[in-house]
């Protein structure tokens, strides 16, 4: 018998409520995981504040960026530290068999389809849990690996999907939250990175990881921005063709800018989410032989690649991640909504 303690969402903008319940047994194919940490994502804010409906009706425990230790489940996983993928595919359907498991229509998402990670424990499908090797925990606490579940794996997948090659001009629009990891990954994978944001403090932080070409677009019009971007591309010695553009801000202006920057043989990848609609000229895609790609989560198969980058010391978590007590969830959500936190918050159970 395990007592799960958690903070659940009861309604839009309502304070999270502390609750508990008993789990007497788990089903075959499931795992009981003691949670080390759960990251706070913009998607959680979308559910809690912006009115995006969850698939399981509230009250619901949110949180889909989860790391922890398996207490019960398959024998080969018991006692092991793991990351729980934010998207858990069925593994059997047409999409899964075709390598598109991240958009499996039978997928299960913690904090959306079932109770998530702002809790002491979670019961989740065991099939795609990703073991965290001991070598990865030499320099990091297991809680810090929670961000791998979405904030890092999602931009990793979209960068791989975009076909980024060493030397490509990589434009990252929005470097708060997921965007700062996207910029870091594009840099690691050989892109010549230009980071764009309206917050100078966020741009300045990138200097810590060797990204020094930035553009603050606050107060600038599209034409001014395009001229500046072209100039910076030339200064960096990158090609004026085949740009890889990553829209991470989840804002209408960010998405409008991403589309405006599309040029010959360019690829625009949409990662940020907004309910706002855009008016764009789709004929640009034809004229430039350009592409626009979406992405949803990350295939579990790619998580090991991300963890390897951390073990190798190429990908830094500590500079952009901070752990906070789960009991501060209401304060953390409020500060996140108000853009007052500089780092990705990971909430650590302190019941």
How confident is the model at residue 119, as a pLDDT?
98
Domain boundary pick from 271, 294, 317: 294
Q: Are residues 167 and 279 both part of a single domain?
A: yes
Q: Are residues 161 and 255 both part of a single domain?
A: yes
Domain boundary pick from 294, 310, 330: 294
Q: Are residues 230 and 305 both part of a single domain?
A: no
Q: Are residues 204 and 181 both part of a single domain?
A: yes
Tens of pLDDT, residues 21-41:
999 889 999 999 999 999 999
Q: Are residues 198 and 176 both part of a single domain?
A: yes
Q: Are residues 214 and 325 both part of a single domain?
A: no
How confident is the model at residue 309, as a pLDDT?
96
Closest CA to 143 of 340, 351, 345: 345
Q: What is the CATH number of the domain that holds 268?
A: 3.40.50.720
Mean pLDDT of 219-239: 97
Domain boundary pick from 270, 294, 318: 294
pLDDT at 267 exceeding the cut of 90:
yes
Q: Are residues 204 and 163 both part of a single domain?
A: yes
Mean pLDDT of 305-314: 95
- Asked if residues 198 and 217 have their Cβ atoms less than 8 Å apart, the reply is yes
Residue 146 pLDDT class (50, 70, 90 cuts): very high
- What is the span of the domain harbouring residue 268? 153-294
Closest CA to 195 of 178, 218, 212: 212
Q: Are residues 201 and 62 both part of a single domain?
A: no
- Asked if residues 173 and 249 have their Cβ atoms less than 8 Å apart, the reply is yes
Return the higher-pLDDT residue of 71 and 320.
71
Residue 162 pLDDT class (50, 70, 90 cuts): very high
d(CA 169, CA 164): 9
Tens of pLDDT, residues 87-105:
999 999 999 999 999 999 9
DSSP characters for 15-54? Answer: PPEEEEEEE----TTEEEEEEEEEE--HHHHHHHTS-PPP
Q: Tell me how far apart the terminal alpha carbons of the chain are, to the nearest angstrom.
A: 17
How confident is the model at residue 177, as a pLDDT?
82
Q: What's the mean pLDDT when you consider all of the chain?
A: 96
Mean pLDDT of 201-227: 95
Into how many domains does the chain fold?
Answer: 2
Mean pLDDT of 99-120: 96
CA dihedral (260, 271, 328, 54) positive or negative: positive
Q: Are residues 142 and 165 both part of a single domain?
A: no
Q: Are residues 255 and 342 both part of a single domain?
A: no
Output phi, psi for 76, to 5 deg: -75, -10
Q: Are residues 280 and 329 both part of a single domain?
A: no
Q: What is the CATH number of the domain that holds 20?
A: 3.90.180.10
Q: Are residues 93 and 113 both part of a single domain?
A: yes
d(CA 276, CA 18): 33
d(CA 281, CA 338): 33
Strands (E), 208-332: 214-216, 244-247, 267-270, 291-294, 321-325
Closest CA to 299 of 98, 20, 26: 98
How confident is the model at residue 342, as a pLDDT?
84
């Amino acid at each position: 018998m395990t007592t799960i303690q958690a903070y659940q969402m009861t309604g839009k903008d309502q304070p999270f409520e502390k609750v508990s319940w008993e789990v007497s047994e788990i089903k075959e194919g499931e795992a009981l995981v003691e949670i080390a940490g759960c990251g706070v994502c913009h998607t959680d804010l979308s559910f809690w504040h912006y009115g995006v409906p969850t698939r399981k009706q509230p009250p619901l425990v949110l949180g889909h960026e989860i790391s922890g230790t398996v207490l019960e489940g398959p024998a080969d996983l018991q006692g092991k530290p793991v990351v729980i993928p934010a998207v858990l595919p069925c593994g059997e359907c047409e999409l899964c068999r075709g390598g598109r498991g991240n958009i499996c229509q039978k997928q299960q998402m913690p904090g959306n389809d079932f109770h998530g990670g702002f809790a002491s424990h979670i019961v989740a499908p065991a099939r795609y849990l990703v073991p965290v090797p001991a070598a990865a925990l030499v320099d990091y606490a297991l809680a810090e690996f929670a961000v791998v579940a979405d904030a890092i794996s999602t931009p990793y997948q979209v960068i791989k999907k975009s076909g980024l090659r060493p030397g490509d001009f990589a434009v990252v629009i929005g470097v708060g939250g997921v965007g700062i990891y996207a910029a870091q990954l594009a840099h690691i994978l050989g892109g010549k990175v230009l980071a764009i944001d309206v917050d100078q403090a966020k741009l300045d932080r990138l200097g810590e990881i060797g990204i020094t070409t930035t553009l603050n677009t606050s107060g600038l019009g599209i034409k001014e921005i395009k001229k500046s971007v072209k100039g910076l591309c030339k200064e960096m010695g990158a090609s004026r063709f085949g740009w890889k553009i990553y829209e991470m801000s989840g804002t209408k202006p960010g998405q409008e800018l991403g589309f405006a920057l599309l040029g010959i043989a360019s690829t625009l990848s949409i990662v940020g989410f907004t309910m706002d609609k855009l008016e764009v000229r789709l004929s640009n895609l034809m004229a430039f032989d350009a592409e626009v790609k979406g992405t949803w989560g990350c295939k579990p198969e790619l998580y090991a690649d991300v963890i390897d980058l951390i073990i190798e010391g190429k990908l830094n978590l500590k500079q952009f991640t901070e752990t906070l007590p789960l009991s501060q969830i209401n304060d953390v959500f409020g500060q996140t909504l108000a853009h007052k936190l500089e780092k990705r918050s990971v909430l650590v159970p302190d019941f």
